[in-house]
Structure formats: structure tokens, C-alpha cells
Amino acid sequence: MKVLLLGANGQLGQALKAEAAGFPALALISTGRSEVDICDTASIRQAITRYQPQVIINCAAYTAVDKAEAEPAQAYRINCDGVANLAAQAALYNIVLLHISTDYVFSGEQAHPYTEQDSPAPKSVYGASKLAGEQALLQSGCKGAIIRTSWLYSEFGSNFVKTMLRLGQCRKPLKVVADQYGSPTYASDLAAALLQMAAAAKQPLFNPPQLWHYANNGITSWYDFACAIFHDAGLECQVEPIQTSAYPTAASRPAFSALASGKIQQHFNTPVPSWRDSLKPALTRLQSPASHKVTD
């Protein structure tokens, strides 16, 4: 089965390429924005004609959360209009589209993990643009799935874990927000789940498309996550918990955005490790002598 990966140079895209060897029944075709621009219908059609995929995994997105507040048109162009273009072509060519979304579609005002049935209410331009993309896909008539995830990290790209490792090596005291709660998710775990879904693309679960959540089990704060990183990495670093109000950002973050992954686990028998268990192999890979990905 041919699987066309869009946004292959991002954090999740690189994790998918790394995990693909474990799925020999899939032929993963990786493309970056220079080859396939989801905002350009002709570009999408050319890729479909060239590669003839049965499945498309879309990791292409506008992800600059704070910058989106100043350039909403660009965020919507990619996260909504681009997804609408892609979904329309997937419907036209009968391709299953797996699209990645975010916990930022929620307000963060409830105190228990969000399920697929909970009503979204984004508090930022980024979250609103991603929700608009979800709605465009659901209304397109294509086969597929929307997979929301949260607090993604890995040995690839820029992310919280790599930033903490870099700052921790400086041995300077750090201040980390302690009143935002979520589910840190190792990109390799999510990548394996996505490839498992791609392998099952002929199942009726994709027609019509549904919402799915995938985040590592467990809930923590950014502060406690940082402390766990330093503990498991063997780094001594003083960390001070602070309130969100002491660290203002352009975009508002949900105070609680943990996701419940029971649905995907039940229907696809997908492993969903705890965030604490997945952090250990991630740090092992990041700290191995062969790894040169520690710096952002």
C-alpha cells in the first residue's frame, strides 16, 4: 500500500520516516513543502498522479502558535484552506486522508481528559485555524480521519524536551509554567499509531471520516514534565514553578488539554504508553553518542 506523507521534514514527519521500517506492508513516500504545497491544488494533483497513493498522511501545517496571532490569514490559508484543497482531491481520487490536529482546539476549561465527543472552543488563532481545517475535512466527503494530539516531542526538530536538555546543561536555574496541564506525547508512538491506521485504511471506520485522539496516557504540568526530564537525563538543574501570568505569550494556551485516547486504542488495538514510560526511550535516543539532534 502506497502512503504519501506530506510535511515529511517536520517533527512528526521525521518520526514517521523513522518508524516506517516496522511496517513492511506500507510503502511510505515522503515529500516536503518544496514538492507538495497543500495550498496549491495543481501541486497536490501532480503528486497524486505521480505516486498513486491509497493513503495520504498530512503533517503539513502552520504551527507558529504565537506568530499566528499577528498573521491569522496565513494560519487559515494553510490550516484551513490547504486542508480543504487536500480533502477535495482525496475525495476526487478516492484516497484515505489521515490529518493531524491539536489539543489547542479546546478551551482548557474542563478538569478531565477531552474525548472526541467534547465540544471544541479554541482560545487562539492557531487553535481556531486548526478547527476550521477539521471542519473542512469532515464536510469534504473524503474518506479519512482527524487525529488530534498534544505536547509532541521527539529527537527531531524543536520541542520542549530538547529545549530543557539544552538549558539544563547550562546548570542555570529555570522557571517553568506549573498551571498548564496536558499529556506529553512521544512522536514515535504517534507515528506508529498513524502507520497502523494507514495499514487499516480499507476498514469502514474511515468512511465517513471520524475524530480520534492520540496522546500518551497520564497528565502532568510543564513544570513536572521538566523535572522528570532532568531526573531521567541525570541532569541537576534547579526548576522554579511559575504561573502562566508570569510568562505572558501572544497566544492564549489552554490551561488543561489532556486528551483521552481510549477510542483509538479500542478500535485499532493501538498501544498508548504512559508519558512517563515513553520519555525514557526518547531520552536514551537523544543522549546517545550517535545522536546529534540535541540542539535545536
CATH number, domain containing residue 43:
3.40.50.720
With 0-12 / 13-18 / 19 or more C-beta atoms within 10 angstroms meaning exposed / middle / buried, residue 18 is middle
Distance, CA of 123 to CA of 129 (rounded, Å): 11
Q: Write down the pLDDT at residue 288.
A: 76
Would 293 be classed as within a structural domain?
no
Instruction: Round the average pLDDT of the chain to a whole number and report it.
Output: 95
Assigned domain for 119 exists: yes
Supply the pLDDT for residue 292: 44
Residue 81: DSSP 8-state = I
Of the candidates 114, 126, 214, 223, the residue annotated as catalytic is 126
pLDDT digits (tens, 9 = 90+) for 198-243: 999 999 999 999 999 999 999 999 999 999 999 999 999 999 999 9
List the beta strands (DSSP E) in the chain.
2-6, 27-31, 55-58, 96-102, 143-149, 152-153, 174-177, 181-182, 185-186, 210-213, 220-221, 239-242
Q: Report if residue 121 sits inside a domain.
A: yes
Question: In this structure, is residue 203 part of a structural domain?
Answer: yes
In angstroms, the CA 114 to CA 96 distance is 25
> Contact at 8 Å (CB) between 129 and 75?
yes
Residue 290: the pLDDT is 58
Domains of the chain: total: 1
What's the confidence (pLDDT) of residue 294? 38
Residue 237: all three cell numbers together = 538543574
Q: Which residues of the chain have pLDDT under 70?
A: 289-296
CB-CB contact of 180 with 223 (8 Å) = no
Domain that holds residue 145: 2-157+184-217+258-273
In a domain, 46, yes or no: yes
What is the three-class DSSP state of 261? coil
Q: Give the closest residue to 274 by CA, choosing from 215, 195, 222, 193.
A: 215
126 in catalytic set: yes
DSSP annotation of 246? G
Q: Secondary structure of the chain: what % helix, strand, coil (to 5)?
A: 40, 20, 40
Supply 115's cell numbers: 474525548
Chain-centroid distance, C-alpha 295: 20
Do the domain assignments include residue 125?
yes
Q: In angstroms, what CA-CA distances link 117 with 1, 62, 106, 205?
A: 31, 25, 12, 16
Interatomic CA distance for residues 15 and 186, integer angstroms: 9
Q: Of 129, 1, 21, 134, which Cα lies nearest the Cα of 67?
A: 129
Q: Of 287, 286, 296, 66, whose CA–CA distance to 186 is shortest?
A: 286
